Amino acid sequence: MKISLFLLLLTLSASPFTSGAQKSAQQNALFPYPQQVSWGKETFTFNNETQLIYTNNDAKKVAHYFSDFIQPATGYLPSLLTTEEARLQYKLANSANKIAFLLLEKSSEEAVEGSYHLTIDANKVTASASSEVGLFYAAQTLRQLFSSDIESRMPINKAQWLLPSVDIIDAPRFKHRGMHLDVSRHFFDVTFVKRYIDWLAFHKINYFQWHLTDDQGWRIEIKQFPKLTSVGGHRAQTVVGHTYDYQSVFDNKSHGGFYTQAQIKEVLAYAKELHVEVIPEVGVPGHSTAFLAAYPEYSCHKNLVKVEQRFGIFEEVLCPTEDTFTMLAKVYQEVATLFPSKYIHIGGDEVIKKQWLESDFVQQLMKEQGLTNGEEVQSYFIKRVSQIITGLDKTLIGWDEIIEGGIAKDAVIMSWRGIEGGIASSEAGHDVIMSPYQYTYLDAYQSRSVDEPKAIHGYLPLKMVYGYDPVPADLSPQHQQHILGAQGALWTEYIESPRHAEYMLLPRLSALAEVFWTQPTNKNWSRYSANVDHIITRYQKMGLNPSTSAFTASTKIDVVKSGELTVNLTADIAGKNIFYTIDGSEPAPYSKATYLYKNAITVTQPVLIRVAVESAQGRTLFSEVNVALAPHKALGKKISFAAPPKTGEERLLDGIMAYQQYYNVDDFAVFYDEDLDAIIDFEQATEFSQVQLGIDTGKHRQLQPPVSVEVLVSNDGINWQSLLRLTPTQIKGPLLTLDFEQVKMQFLRVIAINAKNSTDPQIPKLPLYIDEIAVY
């Protein structure tokens, strides 16, 4: 007789296992962490005699999956019992040394797909669930309960493998647990995409959003429009460095690739076996340069364009003509036929409306449809595409820009620009997938370390990912029901290789998985962070390239007074020794110049502090972060502006130079429309003979310099004397040093002219960044 999983869980709630039992750190290293875990004191011995049993054909799939997984490391080929044999075994008194995969009758009380129960004692392992996917997730948890050696694809010389006794009752918090991959900016082959899906399944992530089209390449074969891939699938070259660098450099190498429909079917079949639903993203109406390079007749201007070689947001946009919608109906028909998912993602983000508003056709369309602005034209376009998607019996997903001008009926909103779009959409009755870039975009930098590889921008350390909650605190329970779940993203503008992708994903993907799966009451940063070592080790045993950035120390700098700073060093991962040098040398074990950090450091002279953290094994230092400090005379003094910066005013006199770290906009005062014209009041006549101006970053970015810099002084703040002026040929970053004869003055004025005011057409109109005005 079958019993329901719901009744089984009730029965097991009075388990003899106790959460207070002693357990190793390895036992705690489960990710995402289950909802209920009770550790026992015994161990189960997995050896060459262990049998795998299952209840029916669906359970047999999971048993075979598990058997295939453990064979390379263990060398064992365990026997698998048929359904009838399994039933017979469970009627026998001796059922020891068995791992059972039991598919149970589903109870009407169960609501969450993926629930499972896993119990291990000295005699047996029992995984039970009311669905195949639940049983599959139980197998993933069981996999993590083995030592990380089990991940080896080569034989490990062990006669037996020990599993801790445990009782786990588990279910996912959200039904949508998603991860995205951009293959347009850099193309990744089928082999990598399958491995990516492997990683998602291992983390109990059930949706894979495949970003297949963008300005830099069209990656999906559409048989009715072959030029989408033959022309749109290739670009002549790619920008080297950051796309917004002051002076762009290109690699002069063609880049391209696309997936045939046969290859896509292969990936879809693979994902299905791992219980991952693949959502195609074919974006319109913006990010369409590759589309229009192939078929320029669907633009409003009809001009020839090239597949974009830079990254960013571009003006090319599909024109809202009937011909365009007819073509899109054919494109999405092929997409819908290929992909069994109920969803099609149509993008809809970052649409520049300039070409629409300059088009006579669009102006006439606006009159006919009663549209008053570009946002309403966008809404019209999205609603027409929504009709196409709905007609294909699919549900449209779009980035949160599609709510501007009016939301298409039944659209699901993916809120990426923050949480506001998700809140507004859920309150309007739309289902929402939360994907705010501040917490879920894994292409951002992971630490302030100088060792970080090039990334797009922003700062998203492991702890910040882990701390995210997809349900906004001020959303009513009624509207919370519209939060389907959350999703992470990996955009690949600056990620060119699988190893780099692994580095950006891991271990942050484990933190994100816990955001998706684990109830907030069961999340615990202390527990999770204490096991990051184990998590990273498991990834390494899987042959992957995880980042150790989580161990990087953070610095907090306080201005004490003019000419003095204090430095406090901390690490998100507790229990690690922090070492530093102040002479510019590399921190190294046993070096006389390397100090163990114990208390705050006082700095009274310009200095480069280099900080590193001890590895789990000790002796090895890694994840170095550098901070160039300038304890100068203007610290703590009043500063005023002819026109203040848009952001970062406090950065001009904080004593920290940005050029020793990767680019972060928060390190700079940013002047978008104005020049720097700042006056520092020393409150009394003060002697100084040097001004230093930080104008650039030291790694991965080349910021636009000013076209001239001038230093002036005054004793009354009215009459000014010019001391020194630098011309463009004298301005080279990242740090400008202006020396002059010593003066004694109360007021110092620094003027840096923004290049946007230059008459030189070769100078791009980019913001002016200044990170410090240091006075000595």
- The whole-angstrom separation of Cα 691 and Cα 161 is 66
Cβ atoms within 10 A of the Cβ of 105, count? 13
Domain count of the chain?
Answer: 4
Confirm if 727 and 689 have CB atoms less than 8 A apart. no
Among 142, 170, 198, the domain-final residue is 170
Question: What is the pLDDT, as a whole number, of residue 27?
Answer: 57
Examine the domain organization and report whether 329 and 453 are in the same domain: yes
Examine the domain organization and report whether 696 and 769 are in the same domain: yes
Question: What is the pLDDT, as a whole number, of residue 52?
Answer: 94
Examine the domain organization and report whether 423 and 370 are in the same domain: yes
Examine the domain organization and report whether 192 and 76 are in the same domain: no
End-to-end Cα distance, the chain:
85
Examine the domain organization and report whether 437 and 413 are in the same domain: yes
Question: What is the pLDDT, as a whole number, of residue 340?
Answer: 98
Examine the domain organization and report whether 195 and 122 are in the same domain: no
Q: Which residue has the tokens 């894979």?
A: 208
Q: Which of 113, 334, 350, 674 is catalytic?
A: 350
**Residues β-bridged to residue 555:** 569
535 in a structural domain:
no
- The whole-angstrom separation of Cα 622 and Cα 578 is 10
Confirm if 326 and 384 have CB atoms less than 8 A apart. no
Examine the domain organization and report whether 389 and 271 are in the same domain: yes
Cβ-proximal residues to 680 (8 Å cutoff; 6+ apart), any chain? 634, 637, 638, 639, 653, 747, 748, 749, 750, 773, 775
User: What DSSP designation does 21 have?
Assistant: S
CATH number of the domain bearing residue 727: 2.60.120.260
Q: What is the 3-state secondary structure (H, E, C) of 239-305?
A: EECCCCCCCCEECCCCEECCECHHHHHHHHHHHHHCCCEEEEEEEECCCCHHHHHHCHHHCCCCCCC
146 in a structural domain:
yes
543 in a structural domain:
no
Domain coverage including residue 114: 5-170
- The whole-angstrom separation of Cα 394 and Cα 400 is 19
Examine the domain organization and report whether 616 and 679 are in the same domain: no
532 in a structural domain:
no
523 in a structural domain:
no
CATH number of the domain bearing residue 265: 3.20.20.80
Examine the domain organization and report whether 187 and 87 are in the same domain: no
Question: What is the pLDDT, as a whole number, of residue 507?
Answer: 98
531 in a structural domain:
no
545 in a structural domain:
no
- The whole-angstrom separation of Cα 509 and Cα 21 is 29
Across 316-391, where does the E strand assignment appear? 343-347
Examine the domain organization and report whether 153 and 184 are in the same domain: no
CATH number of the domain bearing residue 624: 2.60.40
- The whole-angstrom separation of Cα 393 and Cα 341 is 10
Among 119, 153, 170, the domain-final residue is 170
pLDDT along the chain (776 residues), means of 10: 36 37 57 96 95 91 96 93 65 73 75 90 95 97 96 91 96 97 98 98 98 98 98 97 86 97 98 98 98 98 97 96 98 98 98 97 98 96 97 98 88 97 95 98 92 90 98 94 98 97 98 98 95 94 96 92 94 89 89 93 96 76 88 96 94 93 88 92 97 90 92 97 94 93 98 78 73 96
Confirm if 639 and 774 have CB atoms less than 8 A apart. no
- Smallest CA-to-CA distance from 550 within 463, 637, 451, 614 is with 463
Q: Active site includes 350?
A: yes
What pTM was estimated for this model as a whole?
A: 0.93
Which helix (H) or strand (E) segment is 380 a member of?
helix 374-391
Among 629, 658, 692, the domain-final residue is 629
CATH number of the domain bearing residue 42: 3.30.379.10
324 in a structural domain:
yes
Examine the domain organization and report whether 495 and 350 are in the same domain: yes
Examine the domain organization and report whether 747 and 762 are in the same domain: yes
- The whole-angstrom separation of Cα 441 and Cα 181 is 11
